[in-house]
Chain A
């Protein structure tokens, strides 16, 4: 070419500058702030076992939130996750009544999740329907089946060994659920941030047409994301059912909103295209700390949800207000 090529640097900002601009930095500061506030407000907060108990506030929801984060980054959503938990738990309960052992119960739970995810995936990618509509529909469908099967009954014929997932401890105060949460966080972090699959998720969320025109199999990627979300709902169903030791059709009621709250608080753009797994992990911790701290202070549940709502709006609005001031 006629003109000599100019060297273009890799990155505009230094690693430190990039870290400061990140949403996760803000979340970490919020988490530390809440931690300090909690330990000043209640003498029972700084106790290893109390803190360990507090993690159950978020571990199961966060497992779903990891897969949901990928789905929302890709520009889709699954509002049927809580209903999938209910249906998977119901299926496990029925299997337990029939005398199934622990491995079968786990397979039934995960399998139900996968099937539900596949149904959502086919409806969205095969028929081209909007996922918000499809999953509002399947939300009623899945939960409805659980109600028809169970009515006002309770399944609780779970074998004693099944309790290990929700009530077991790996080491000292580290519960099985907390360990699973950590392992899944790493797996999803690697999947989203370190693989070409994750890159495709971001590309689709920013511009689905452009992604298709770049040779990405957009429908296939989205289908896999619905499968993963269903699977993680199945995993959460195993943990929750094991922890409670029983199944009612109202199990995990309205969790879909808490999961989406966690994802959005974690910095995932609800319109798709951006977000991170470390952000979702921090958001899970922040929400867990807030509910636990308020619980120690005997704040009623209704007031607690007002707090969580204000926190969400506040943390989301702050950077936007800051950006508006600068423009």
Chain B
């Protein structure tokens, strides 16, 4: 491996109002090398990515490219210096074609400075062929799936002759097959001598594809080195600063009376014939592949989408849920998977997010009482170990894991009967994950009925009393006790007897 880094960050410090996001952080990226950046949510990973891509300017520290000190005044400067990022939700343009997305901002020009379309198409075909992407350059991006969009993003990175490619959780939304294809691509980028910064929460893939690692904790760099010289346990310990002795909390499984009963729920396109019940103190896992209709079912329980048939009972009494406000009034709450859009309300302070559905209780006949709001918000924020500078901090400035805590706090403050959590630990780090798991166990112990939608088998196995498996809008299995095994989950979700069927 070459021993001179293509990119070197030293002593980078960045502060935001009330928060020191990075303090004197260093990071080296070498050509032809995959460096894994590891850290809990809020450790400063996104901030360093934004500094590398010219979106933020550091308060202190220096950035060297090929040994020369450089400053990025804008995102364009970073692109020109050969740094590109492929984000979790890749920033591409749905209304433009594949070729236009690849060459946006640096399209080949013909006479009079106009875009040379045939040349652009030719080069797009070339680049797509280089990464074995079976895409037509003239396809509008909106017609592509998430995996294909990633390919376009990578093609774009190649088109600017990127020397440093940043991949921010690139596998979070991909199927296993697509992940394998991405690994092949990363190997190719490596062999072409590009430096790759790979951000991931999945340790198996870090150990599979990374050559080096760098660990951030609370805005500081706490370790870096060769991946071969460190064990998974040591890496986890570096990341969280403590030993992770056991992954899932012990639970006393004492179930109470039936709280929720769903009978014959149906929807024209999303699900059909859904019946199940839920008892106090129970954690019901709902497993299935992406697109099996799990989120849609949860959103129907919560009044976002209206089912075409079926009844809902709380304590045996039928209830009507026509809007989320009705569901909340009956004690059914929902923590959505899409935190940024459906969960937290960025722009409003933490305490207002928490109290939004509880204003009837904190207020007096519609008049707000801020003192009570702060008290209520603090109770749940501290119980969930929220990390924030103050309760009037904008939720949008918190890390993903902490935003999730605000959303959960918002619902707990309503003192619900049934809480449905949709992929509650997706994209959050091991430390926060354990906190969420412990918390769910606490809630169940207090008599709350919990529905946990999850695509992670260990999570379903470790947390659920009982698990439903959904496939193509139907409940295809109900598993509990001895019958609840990883194999049973996978077989039910994939459809036994149809092994060749494509995963949706």
Q: A1-38 interface mask toward B, CB cutoff 8 Å, 1 = contact, 0 = none?
A: 11101111111100000000000000000000000000
Residue of A nearest to B328 (CB): A215
In the bound complex, residues from chain B placing their C-beta under 8 Å from that of A214 are 324, 345, 353, 356-357, 410
Residue of B nearest to A2 (CB): B438
Name 23 interchain pairs, CB-CB below 8 A, sorted by A.
A8-B386, A9-B390, A9-B391, A10-B374, A195-B367, A196-B367, A198-B368, A202-B348, A205-B347, A207-B341, A207-B345, A207-B347, A209-B342, A213-B304, A213-B324, A213-B343, A214-B324, A214-B356, A215-B325, A216-B324, A216-B325, A216-B356, A217-B325
> B216-224, B251-259, B284-292, B358-366: which one contacts chain A?
B358-366
Q: Is the CB of B392 within 8 A of A12?
A: yes
Instruction: Name the contact of A12 in the complex, choosing from B17, B304, B342, B352 (C-beta under 8 A).
Output: B17
CB distance from B329 to the nearest CB of A (A): 8
Interface size on B, residues (CB 8 A): 50
B274 close to A (CB within 8 Å): no
Instruction: Name the contact of B345 in the complex, choosing from A6, A9, A10, A211 (C-beta under 8 A).
Output: A211
Q: Which B positions have Cβ atoms within 8 angstroms of A?
A: 17-18, 57, 302, 304, 323-325, 327-328, 334, 336, 341-348, 351-353, 356-357, 359-360, 363, 366-368, 374, 378, 381-383, 385-393, 410, 435, 438-439, 442
Bound Cα distance A319, B429 (Å): 38
A213 and B18 in contact (CB under 8 A), knowing A3-B385, A206-B345?
A: no
In the bound complex, residues from chain A placing their C-beta under 8 Å from that of B344 are 207, 210
CB distance from A11 to the nearest CB of B (A): 5
CB distance from A215 to the nearest CB of B (A): 4
Instruction: Name the contact of B391 in the complex, choosing from A11, A213, A274 (C-beta under 8 A).
Output: A11
A203 close to B (CB within 8 Å): yes
Bound Cα distance A200, B363 (Å): 13
8 more A-B residue pairs beyond the given contacts A196-B359, A206-B347, A214-B345, with a C-beta to C-beta distance below 8 A? A9-B389, A10-B392, A195-B366, A196-B360, A199-B356, A207-B344, A214-B353, A215-B356
In the bound complex, residues from chain A placing their C-beta under 8 Å from that of B374 are 10
A5 and B328 in contact (CB under 8 A), knowing A195-B366, A209-B341?
A: no
Residues 165 to 215 of chain A near chain B (Cβ within 8 Å): 194-200, 202-203, 205-207, 209-215
In the bound complex, residues from chain B placing their C-beta under 8 Å from that of A274 are 347
A327 close to B (CB within 8 Å): yes
In the bound complex, residues from chain A placing their C-beta under 8 Å from that of B351 are 10
A273 close to B (CB within 8 Å): yes
Bound Cα distance A83, B123 (Å): 55
Instruction: Name the contact of B378 in the complex, choosing from A2, A8, A197, A202 (C-beta under 8 A).
Output: A8
Q: Is the CB of B391 within 8 A of A199?
A: no
Residues 229 to 287 of chain A near chain B (Cβ within 8 Å): 273-274
Bound Cα distance A215, B18 (Å): 31
Count, A-B residue pairs, CB within 8 A: 117
A217 and B323 in contact (CB under 8 A), knowing A5-B385, A196-B366, A210-B342?
A: yes
In the bound complex, residues from chain B placing their C-beta under 8 Å from that of A194 are 367-368
Bound Cα distance A214, B356 (Å): 7
Instruction: Name the contact of B439 in the complex, choosing from A1, A195, A202, A210 (C-beta under 8 A).
Output: A1
Residue of A nearest to B384 (CB): A1
Instruction: Name the contact of A213 in the complex, choosing from B57, B342, B352, B388 (C-beta under 8 A).
Output: B342
In the bound complex, residues from chain A placing their C-beta under 8 Å from that of B381 are 8
Task: With a 10 A CB-CB cut-off, give which of B342, B356, B390 has the most chain A CB atoms.
Answer: B356
Instruction: Name the contact of B327 in the complex, choosing from A3, A10, A215 (C-beta under 8 A).
Output: A215
- Chain A at the B interface: mostly helix, strand, loop or mixed? loop
Bound Cα distance A214, B358 (Å): 10
CB distance from B242 to the nearest CB of A (A): 9
Bound Cα distance A8, B381 (Å): 8
Q: Is the CB of A210 within 8 A of B359?
A: no
Residue of A nearest to B386 (CB): A8
Which 8 residue pairs across A and B have the least CB separation, nearest first? A206-B347, A5-B382, A196-B359, A215-B328, A12-B390, A210-B345, A207-B345, A215-B357
Q: Is the CB of B392 within 8 A of A206?
A: no
In the bound complex, residues from chain B placing their C-beta under 8 Å from that of A195 are 363, 366-368
Q: Is the CB of B336 within 8 A of A11?
A: no
Residue of A nearest to B335 (CB): A213
Q: Is the CB of B356 within 8 A of A203?
A: yes
A207 and B346 in contact (CB under 8 A), knowing A8-B390, A10-B392, A199-B368?
A: yes
A8 and B57 in contact (CB under 8 A), knowing A206-B345, A207-B341?
A: no
CB distance from A284 to the nearest CB of B (A): 25
Q: Is the CB of B390 within 8 A of A11?
A: yes
CB distance from B413 to the nearest CB of A (A): 11
A213 and B383 in contact (CB under 8 A), knowing A11-B390, A12-B390, A203-B356?
A: no
In the bound complex, residues from chain B placing their C-beta under 8 Å from that of A6 are 382, 385, 387
A196 and B363 in contact (CB under 8 A), knowing A5-B382, A214-B356?
A: yes
A12 and B393 in contact (CB under 8 A), knowing A199-B352, A212-B304, A215-B328?
A: yes
Bound Cα distance A215, B410 (Å): 11
CB distance from B396 to the nearest CB of A (A): 9
Q: A310-327 interface mask toward B, CB cutoff 8 Å, 1 = contact, 0 = none?
A: 000000000000000001
Instruction: Name the contact of A327 in the complex, choosing from B57, B302, B348 (C-beta under 8 A).
Output: B57
Residue of A nearest to B352 (CB): A199
In the bound complex, residues from chain B placing their C-beta under 8 Å from that of A199 are 352, 356, 359, 368
CB distance from B473 to the nearest CB of A (A): 22
CB distance from B381 to the nearest CB of A (A): 6
Residue of A nearest to B396 (CB): A206
CB distance from A309 to the nearest CB of B (A): 29
CB distance from A195 to the nearest CB of B (A): 5
A8 and B388 in contact (CB under 8 A), knowing A2-B438, A202-B348?
A: yes
In the bound complex, residues from chain B placing their C-beta under 8 Å from that of A205 are 347
Q: A57-72 interface mask toward B, CB cutoff 8 Å, 1 = contact, 0 = none?
A: 0000000000000000
Bound Cα distance A216, B439 (Å): 26
